[in-house]
Structure 1
Amino acid sequence: MKDPGGNWIYDPPAYEPIVAEDGTVHNLDQYLEMSAADVVKNIEMDVIDALFSEKFGVLVTETQMEELFSVIP
């Protein structure tokens, strides 16, 4: 976080950043690019498969979340 003057409040950690197996250091921008158009229409078997096979899983609405968790094997 930065203070009102734009300066960092704390120094960064002394350790190296966490890096994924594919070399990704961060992916927040990819999550921020998700939109309502990316929300699945229905919770079906292909959505359950994508939950485990897609890099970012699947995007569901708050009301779909209970249904999704109830059908995960």
Structure 2
Amino acid sequence: MNPRAAVLARRRERLVQRSGNLRRTLTREIRAAQPVLAWADRLQDVWLWLRGNPVMAVAGSMALAASRPRRWLG
């Protein structure tokens, strides 16, 4: 094997090892962020529902305003 090929082979080995380490780190970080991402998915679902059903959203707001929330809190 010529010297240039040996250098490239060593460099490739280091890059493959580094790539594996980065994949493992990314997997750990994604697992830690899953609860936050789940909440973000729920919020997106609510937002899409509200955009698709604006009449229901307005009706719910009106019902809440008409029911006088101070009674609930007081």
Query: Could you tell me the TM-score, scaled by structure 2's length?
Result: 0.28
Q: Which is richer in helix? A: 2
Q: Which of the pair has the greater relative contact order for Cα pairs under 8 Å at 6+ separation?
A: 1
User: Max radius of gyration: which structure?
Assistant: 2
